[in-house]
Amino acid sequence: MALNVKEKEGFKYVDEGTGQVLMLLHGLFGALSNWEGVVNRFQAKYRVVIPMLPIYEMPIKEAGLEGLRQFTEQFVSTMKLDNMIIMGNSLGGHVGLLYTLSNPEKVSKLILTGSSGLFENTMGGSYPRRGSYDYIQERVAYTFYDPKVASKELVDEVFETTKSIPKCMRIVAIAKSAQRNNLALELPNIKVPTLLVWGLNDTITPPMVAHEFNRLIPNSELRFIDKCCHAPMMEHPAKFNELVDEFLSA
């Protein structure tokens, strides 16, 4: 099911279902298609909202974690959202953590999967190389345990993005900002129930990172998915949704 993108006051977003808000935050190269399995599973019980983070459009001076946190605050305010469950993958998890630390009264639960915020190998240890399709294909495949999950459509989408010099500049700026923005000292201040769902074979935020998140966030539980890398909701959607459902129903 292709997701329907809406627009309001300059924001582009998905808004499906009714009930408590489940806000999904995508990663640096995240596409809406990453979340289709989650939306399909949870829109019957929750209001699933996905803001399109302005990773490729934000002013270059604001291209970083602080700018993305402020954007998320503005989006939540515009949409009048409250009592949210926030789910974030990779960079989206990092933004979700920063938002929760600044706005604890707005968040009831947190779900992180392959989140940055402690340590990550950006793009598998390198920044995007413009103009090389084979390189982009290899890097996208690196995100998955099974390279076949890196469909031609997904590779094409990332390749188109990295052909633009301004977009590449923002990607690099945000990736560097994420690596500098270490949350180890602040994570004990996250008080909401937190679920960590990690790929056991994650090469970008390895399992040791998940264990460290689990140690530092007081009310957190950690679940691993085997034969899975950096995007569990894409590689093993059924298992991922099952773990999330258990957590939300508890």
127 part of a folded domain = no
- pLDDT for the residue 15: 97
Q: How many CB atoms lie within 10 A of CB 173?
A: 18
Q: Going by C-beta distance under 8 Å and a sequence separation of 6 or more, which residues neighbour residue 144?
A: 150, 229, 230, 231, 234, 235
- pLDDT for the residue 212: 98
129 part of a folded domain = no
89 part of a folded domain = yes
CATH number at residue 238: 3.40.50.1820
- pLDDT for the residue 124: 43
- pLDDT for the residue 125: 44
44 part of a folded domain = yes
- pLDDT for the residue 19: 97
What is the block-wise mean pLDDT of the chain (250 residues), using blocks of 10 residues? 89 96 92 90 98 92 94 98 97 97 98 94 54 82 88 87 86 90 97 98 96 98 97 96 97
48 part of a folded domain = yes
Total structural domains within the chain:
1
Structural domain span for residue 196? 6-120+182-249
- pLDDT for the residue 249: 96
Structure tokens at 4: 């329907």
188 part of a folded domain = yes
* Angle subtended by helix axes 152-162 and 133-141, to nearest 10: 120
CA distance 158 to 162: 6
- pLDDT for the residue 224: 98
Single pTM value for the model = 0.94
Query: pLDDT tens digits, residue range 28-87?
Result: 887 788 899 999 999 999 999 999 999 989 999 999 999 999 999 999 999 999 999 999
CA distances from 75 to 60, 79, 100 (A): 20, 6, 14
